[in-house]
Amino acid sequence: MLPNACNPQRIGFQTRRMALRLLILAVAAVDAYTVLHLADFHLDVDYSTKGDASKMCHVGNQTAKATLGSFGDYMCDSPKPLVQHAIDEAKRLFPDPDLLLWTGDNTPHVDGYDWNYVMNAMNTTTTLLFSKFPKTQILPTFGNHDYAPANAFDLSSTLYSRTWDLWSKQLGDQNKATFLSGGYYKLRLKNATAVVLNTNLYYNANKAYGNFTDKTDPAGQFAFMEAELQAAEQCPNRVTDNCTSQVHIIAHIGPGVFERSPNFTWFRPEYNEKFLNLTTRYANSIGWMIFGHHHTDTFHLIKDQLGNVVQLALMAPSVTPWFSDLPGAGANNPSFRTYETDDYGKISDINTYYINLDDLNKNASTPFVFEYSFKQAYGIFGDVTPRKMSDVLENMKKNDSLFQTYINYNSVLWKPAMPQGIYRGAQLCSMEWSDYPRYDDCMKLYSHAAQKFTIPIFSLLFYVLNQL
Ligand SMILES: *[C@@H]1O[C@H](CO)[C@@H](O)[C@H](O)[C@H]1NC(C)=O
Ligand SMILES: *[C@@H]1O[C@H](CO)[C@@H](O)[C@H](O)[C@H]1NC(C)=O
Ligand SMILES: *[C@@H]1O[C@H](CO)[C@@H](O)[C@H](O)[C@H]1NC(C)=O
Ligand SMILES: *[C@@H]1O[C@H](CO)[C@@H](O)[C@H](O)[C@H]1NC(C)=O
Ligand SMILES: *[C@@H]1O[C@H](CO)[C@@H](O)[C@H](O)[C@H]1NC(C)=O
Ligand SMILES: *[C@@H]1O[C@H](CO)[C@@H](O)[C@H](O)[C@H]1NC(C)=O
Ligand SMILES: *[C@@H]1O[C@H](CO)[C@@H](O)[C@H](O)[C@H]1NC(C)=O
Ligand SMILES: *[C@@H]1O[C@H](CO)[C@@H](O)[C@H](O)[C@H]1NC(C)=O
Ligand SMILES: *[C@@H]1O[C@H](CO)[C@@H](O)[C@H](O)[C@H]1NC(C)=O
């Protein structure tokens, strides 16, 4: 008899068994992890169907007849029924997500409100969301409007202490000190650490800047972020009791430039640079970087000094449809999304769901429906990585049909129009460069002089090619 090892039948059996074992291991290792994300509710309790759409649809100055939809209007912020419907629909589609990200801005785009008004918006949205997902770990954070007045995030604010009462059960006592001092915290997830930041402190419109005692690092938040990233880099195994090798960064405002308005930035330049320096230095220890704030659907690549793509910041579209009158901006359809990830945060796909607001106003039973998947829309094989999104962007620059696909989703299918000239530049340069100096260089290619020069040459080239 031949020794076992040389028995062909036996080898076949062993190979099959090994393959099966590998398959089982592979399935076990890529344990799917669904992260649900709701962004920018902007609940407006003064919304009225008799309101004036040019004045935030408010109950004051009302018309005799109700002409606006009871679920909202593209010109205005979300009435409660829209917030409720979005949460109900998220629950219907994802009854038991592994994690829920809630990136803030629950207060509407109006002026002159006080603390009670903000706290009412915070409490109403918190109650709606927490009661709908009682068993889900929720990671909440503040948006720049969640303050009285808006955009005045100070240190040790009353906002942090009053909101602590609403959120402490989700965040845990270990986060009390950082939360009360600057509204930020961390939370150990299964195999990664979520670092949830209050980036409203870095906003260039923040009125409390003058009050910061340490202007290079307000509330010590950068030091906190760096300490977490350093701990992740030094974590001996991928996961131990007291460390993880992956950190996820979550906040309301992300680094970089608004993609719809040329040269319209968010963070103060020095904070943008510092944030990107940290991201670049510890890029390998960062899993996902997820933000809201834009209301639109876009992403920013983060590149090192040599131009290598090292990270990817994802901006999720909003629930509020509110029309922004910033140059090149507009309204959007209400939406939310999920990230399909593994235990460590590798993103295998991003799926966005939306509702056409006009349809909802006609029929209150209209469901949120699937809008698109990153993988399908952008033809990505394997995981959604910074490198692959960079390839997608390079293709967008050359292929208007792919760019149009992105533009359709950018406003969640609300009147998508191909941007021209500097507006095209604003889109493409904001995705490619999160740092301001290289964004500015990129924008120079789309300035009027450059436009006059390049368009005829491309037209001529097209003409010549068409003759061949
Ligand atoms: C009604 O409109 C006028 C003029 O735009 C404005 O000054 C006033 O504040 C509005 N009133 C309310 C209650 O919104
Ligand atoms: C929050 O809202 C709930 C439900 O409406 C209410 O019972 C509770 O008193 C409110 N809490 C605060 C702190 O306002
Ligand atoms: C993820 O972390 C848990 C402990 O939090 C551990 O039991 C599990 O083995 C880890 N998963 C993987 C795939 O390492
Ligand atoms: C700055 O601090 C002072 C004193 O605490 C406070 O009264 C003021 O409202 C703060 N300014 C802003 C813009 O928050
Ligand atoms: C983690 O715990 C181990 C012992 O369990 C300890 O040696 C190590 O210093 C700890 N690391 C951190 C970052 O706290
Ligand atoms: C960012 O890093 C560069 C290069 O190391 C350095 O020159 C710059 O001072 C850093 N900026 C900030 C704000 O830390
Ligand atoms: C309203 O929408 C629901 C869900 O799509 C549908 O079943 C129902 O027939 C619609 N009602 C009307 C009056 O169109
Ligand atoms: C352009 O992108 C579309 C997808 O939007 C794709 O179907 C087409 O093949 C691309 N064209 C080229 C020349 O790559
Ligand atoms: C934006 O910045 C670029 C580069 O600095 C400049 O050429 C352009 O005129 C600016 N555009 C607007 C609309 O401010």
SS3 annotation, 170-213: HHCHHHHHHHHHHCCEEEECCCCEEEEECHHHHECCCCCHHHCC
The answer to whether 93 touches 132, Cβ cutoff 8 Å, is no
Asked if residue 375 has its Cβ within 6 Å of ligand 6, the reply is no
- pLDDT of residue 467 exceeding 80: no
At residue 465, the pLDDT reads: 44
Q: How far apart are CA 323 and CA 320, in angstroms?
A: 9
Whether 261 contacts 360, CB under 8 Å: no
Among 373, 393, 399, 408, which residue has the most ligand 8 atoms within 8 Å of its CB, making it the best to mutate? 399
pLDDT at 140: 98
Q: Identify which has the larger pLDDT, 466 or 113.
A: 113
Measured from CB, residues less than 6 Å from any atom of ligand 3 are 29, 190-191, 239, 343
Least confident among 2-16, 27-41, 384-398, 401-415: 2-16
For 337, other C-beta atoms within 10 Å of its C-beta total: 24
| Ligand minimally distant from the alpha carbon of residue 305 | 6
Of 241, 240, 256, 249, residue with least CA distance to 285: 249
The residue behind tokens 């409100």 is 113
Q: Which of 61, 110, 111, 113 to mutate to test the pocket of ligand 1 (most atoms within 8 A of CB)?
A: 61
**Confidence tier at 30 by pLDDT (50, 70, 90):** low
Task: Find the 244 Cα to ligand 5 centroid distance in Å.
Answer: 11
| pLDDT at residue 271, rounded to an integer | 98
Q: How far does residue 193's CA lie from ligand 3's centre (Å)?
A: 13
- Please tell me the distance between residue 241's alpha carbon and the centre of ligand 5 in angstroms: 8
In the predicted structure, residue 446 carries a pLDDT above the cut 90: yes
Task: Check residues 117 and 20 and name the one with the higher pLDDT.
Answer: 117
Evaluate: CB of 408 within 6 angstroms of ligand 8: no
Q: pLDDT tens digits for 330-354?
A: 999 999 999 999 878 899 999 999 9
Task: Write out residues with Cβ below 6 Å of ligand 1.
Answer: 58, 60-61
Q: Ligand 3 pocket check: which of 99, 242, 343 to mutate, most ligand atoms within 8 Å of Cβ?
A: 343
For residue 86, report the distance from its CA to the centre of ligand 1, in Å.
30
- pLDDT at position 2, please? 34
* CATH code for the structural domain at 32-417: 3.60.21.10
* 230 CA → ligand 5 middle, Å: 13
Stretch (H or E) spanning 427: helix 421-432
Q: How would residue 13 be classed by pLDDT, with cut points 50, 70 and 90?
A: very low
Look over the chain and give the mean of its residue pLDDT values, rounded to a whole number: 91
Task: Determine which of 55-59, 120-124, 161-165, 303-307 has the lowest per-residue pLDDT on average.
Answer: 55-59
Tell me the CA–centroid distance for residue 86 and ligand 7, in Å: 17
**What are the two backbone dihedrals, phi and then psi, of residue 306, each rounded to the nearest 5 degrees?**
-85, -5
| Residue 42 confidence (pLDDT) above 60 | yes
* DSSP secondary structure code for residue 50 in this structure: E
- d(C-alpha 400, C-alpha 397), whole Å: 7
Per-residue pLDDT, 62: 66
Provide the residue ranges of all domains of the chain, joining segments of one domain with +: 32-417
Question: Ligand 8: which residue has its CA nearest to atom 13?
Answer: 399
High-pLDDT (> 90) share of the chain, %:
84
Contact, 276 vs 302, CB < 8 A?
A: yes
Q: Whose CA is nearest to atom 7 of ligand 7?
A: 365
Give the least confident one: 23-37, 51-65, 283-297. 23-37
Q: Which ligand is nearest to the CA of 364?
A: 7
CB of 123 within 6 A of ligand 2: the answer is yes
Band (pLDDT 50/70/90 cuts) for residue 360 is: very high
3-state helix, strand, coil in the chain (%, to 5): 45, 20, 40
Q: Is the CB of 366 under 6 A from ligand 7?
A: yes
